[in-house]
Amino acid sequence: MKSNTPNPEFEQLVRTRLQQLGDLAPTEVRDLADIDLVPDAARKVPRRRIAAISGAAVALAGGLTLTGIAATGGEEGGGNTPEDAVLEFVEAIENSDLVGALDVIDPGESEVLINTLTAVVDESARVGVFSETVDARDVPGATAGIEGLLLSTDQVATDLAVVTTDAGTAQLSIDLTALPLGLDLAEQIDTDDFGPLEVVDFAVDPLRIATVERDGQWYVSFSYSIAEAARRDSGMPFPVDATVAGDGFDDPGAAATAFWKHAASLDVGEAISVFAPGEADAIGRYLPLWLPGLNESIADARQSGLTINVSDLRFDITEIGNRSRVEPLAYVVEGSLPPSSDPEFPAFDPAAPTLVYVADGTGFHIIEAGDPIPESFDGLEPTQEFPDDLMSENAGPNSATLNPDGTIQQFWTDDDAVEDDPTAQDFRIEYADGCSITSGAIAENALLYSPLSAGVEDLGDGRYRSCDTDTAGSSLSVFGLLAFGRGGVFAPVVPSLETVEIDGRWYVSPIGTIGVQILDIFADVEDGKILSLDSPLAAFLYGVDRSTIERQLVGRAESELGPECSTIVEVDTNGTVTDVSNTPGLDDVRGCTESDAFWNFFGSDVAIEAIEPADGELIEFGVPESTIVISD
């Protein structure tokens, strides 16, 4: 029996032992008057010096190349000066502990960062990235060496200073054998792949770390550091106006509703006023620098017909302490998008020839411009003679593929050619009970470019329903309506937000919301299943996901694949690949997906040749034992 199988007898033993353990607790109840009751606010933060470094810290704070912290700057957190704060920060780099590191971060950011980090580390341990005993406060295996640090300070405001590392070096080292990785993952990682990391020379690549002053102490601020870097890169002057926090809302739902309504109407100034003071100070202070330009672009888009409105929002609200996760249960998003002058897919060009590829390796057939595309390949002769002038046309030839049943995959005919639509296209998305129903001109137009995808149901009245929970708002992404096909106006679904209560008022927490999105990725991974190809994290681990591998391999002859891919597939008695293994080894997947056979549909005896047309763009074709060279 597996050790993690539920066992009522053992659970009863645990219950009994815990009661016995509890009985060892003191029984005497001291009088309240005997206890020195000190209000929380008057308590002093203990000095801490934290040792060790965290691999997770390396990843999460990689942008700063620094992790770990030692809050050694006195009885309270932070430093007496901006440089003190950074020095304490840097001193801790040579130690460890991400959670402890956050103790010296701007108090407006630290709580939510600690919560987020702890949750991410916990979830990472649950799915098997880390071992179950990982503690974000003490993650061994990564060390950093800082030498010869020289700092300078730009006091950009009374409460804000930017400390620059003018000289010094930093070198991170990661000992994978000491990192508390999950067992399955550790087995798959080749330690030889990880040598010493590059030395950072601060004289060449100076770090600019923003520090903020809170009640007389200075703290490192992530959000101000990012905002300052953006301001400096864009050449903007330092913002004159201080942040003016919004008034907050009576409850989490009201805060979330206000945010989405403002965001949908592209009212950036109002949207950021919903953010929590403290953690959003940098956004509120710096974003107005870019507001004029943003508003100009938004005005142009509106002039072209852009309107978006969110209504009928209903939420599932989970309160945890002073924070709440606000998950939309239902909403309606409707409006119109500007006309597209750049269709997502190129239309059929009747003035160009069409090249029909034969996947069995015998070559291709070229249909002259103006000739109809036949339904089947019957009567056509494959060739490997590539006309010299085929690629000389500006748009190049149309392209079609011969299906296994002998029919030719039909792309666009002259009649199907899509003209640019000069009018704005309306859309409406109703989401409720896990399903979205999409309607409007955009949905209809999208179908001209792509057939109805699996999982999308045509309701017959111009509406299309998708209940595919694997891809959020899949009906939208399938139709390419908004985010993907239409310039990323906004995400295809209304995602969850985190809100926070401050002095009795509710605000949207921007950092917490980012954490929610990260945690949502983990939520779909089963316990210990980090290596599963079905995991949403598979694409990060393997570089490809299951559907991509299946698309490339299933149906092909095993003999075509070569030894690299044979280890990760299941084959029937005819030698045809029928499936991909559930949990293939990381190296096996990489070996397969990096092999020529994986990407080559033409068989193992195919030579991949490059064609360099007149415009210089390199195009690769797979043609059996042939060399095609087109010169200008």
Which residues would be at the binding site for another protein (CB under 8 A)?
3-4, 6-7, 10-11, 13-15, 17-27, 29, 32, 35, 37-40, 46, 48, 99-100, 115, 118-119, 122-123, 125-126, 132-135, 137-138, 319-321, 519, 523, 527
Q: Are 93 and 68 in contact (CB under 8 A)?
A: yes
In the complex with another protein, the residue whose CB is nearer, 71 or 544, is: 71
Rounded to a whole number of angstroms, the minimum distance from the CB of residue 331 to another protein is 23
Structure-block tokens of residue 409: 């995959």
Rounded to a whole number of angstroms, the minimum distance from the CB of residue 419 to another protein is 50
Query: Which letter, b or e, does each residue of 333-362 get, where b requires 16 or more Cβ atoms within 10 Å of its Cβ?
Result: bbbbbbebeebeeebbbeebbbbbbbeebb
Is 187 buried (19+), middle (13-18) or exposed (0-12) by CB count in 10 A? exposed
In the complex with another protein, the residue whose CB is nearer, 128 or 480, is: 128
Rounded to a whole number of angstroms, the minimum distance from the CB of residue 112 to another protein is 11
In the complex with another protein, the residue whose CB is nearer, 53 or 408, is: 53
In the complex with another protein, the residue whose CB is nearer, 415 or 503, is: 503
Q: Are 58 and 67 in contact (CB under 8 A)?
A: yes
Q: Are 589 and 550 in contact (CB under 8 A)?
A: no
| Beta-bridge mates of residue 437 | 430, 465
Rounded to a whole number of angstroms, the minimum distance from the CB of residue 179 to another protein is 16
Rounded to a whole number of angstroms, the minimum distance from the CB of residue 91 to another protein is 18
- Rg from Cα positions in the chain: 30
In the complex with another protein, the residue whose CB is nearer, 51 or 245, is: 51
In the complex with another protein, the residue whose CB is nearer, 51 or 607, is: 51
In the complex with another protein, the residue whose CB is nearer, 24 or 204, is: 24
In the complex with another protein, the residue whose CB is nearer, 29 or 454, is: 29
| Beta-bridge mates of residue 211 | 161, 220
Rounded to a whole number of angstroms, the minimum distance from the CB of residue 70 to another protein is 12
Structure-block tokens of residue 394: 């500006």
Rounded to a whole number of angstroms, the minimum distance from the CB of residue 2 to another protein is 8
Rounded to a whole number of angstroms, the minimum distance from the CB of residue 36 to another protein is 8
Rounded to a whole number of angstroms, the minimum distance from the CB of residue 535 to another protein is 15
Name every residue whose Cβ is closer than 8 Å to that of residue 421 and which is 6 or more positions away in sequence.
339, 340, 441, 445
Residue whose entry in the numeric block shows the structure tokens 């016995």 = 20
In the complex with another protein, the residue whose CB is nearer, 154 or 524, is: 524
In the complex with another protein, the residue whose CB is nearer, 32 or 240, is: 32
Rounded to a whole number of angstroms, the minimum distance from the CB of residue 133 to another protein is 5
Rounded to a whole number of angstroms, the minimum distance from the CB of residue 513 to another protein is 16
DSSP 8-state secondary structure symbol assigned to residue 522? H
In the complex with another protein, the residue whose CB is nearer, 143 or 324, is: 324
Is 602 buried (19+), middle (13-18) or exposed (0-12) by CB count in 10 A? buried
Rounded to a whole number of angstroms, the minimum distance from the CB of residue 504 to another protein is 11
Name every residue whose Cβ is closer than 8 Å to that of residue 536 and which is 6 or more positions away in sequence.
521, 524, 525
Q: How many CA atoms, within 13 angstroms, populate the side-chain half-sphere of residue 280?
A: 26
Residue whose entry in the numeric block shows the structure tokens 């990489």 = 590
Rounded to a whole number of angstroms, the minimum distance from the CB of residue 470 to another protein is 18
Rounded to a whole number of angstroms, the minimum distance from the CB of residue 178 to another protein is 18
Within 10 A of 582 (CB to CB), how many other CB atoms are there?
12
Max distance between CA atoms of the chain, in angstroms, equals 102
Rounded to a whole number of angstroms, the minimum distance from the CB of residue 4 to another protein is 4
273/392 Cα distance (integer angstroms): 55
In the complex with another protein, the residue whose CB is nearer, 87 or 119, is: 119
Conformation bin of residue 363: beta by default, left when phi > 0, alpha when psi is -120 to 50: left
In the complex with another protein, the residue whose CB is nearer, 13 or 619, is: 13
In the complex with another protein, the residue whose CB is nearer, 125 or 442, is: 125
322/102 Cα distance (integer angstroms): 19
In the complex with another protein, the residue whose CB is nearer, 15 or 551, is: 15
Is 301 buried (19+), middle (13-18) or exposed (0-12) by CB count in 10 A? middle
The amino acid present at 412, given as its one-letter code, is W
Residue whose entry in the numeric block shows the structure tokens 């050449």 = 235
Residue whose entry in the numeric block shows the structure tokens 């130690």 = 95
Q: Are 399 and 411 in contact (CB under 8 A)?
A: yes
Task: Output the CA–CA distances (angstroms, integers) from residue 304 to 33, 297, 299, 301, 423, in the order listed.
Answer: 72, 11, 9, 5, 9
Is 484 buried (19+), middle (13-18) or exposed (0-12) by CB count in 10 A? middle
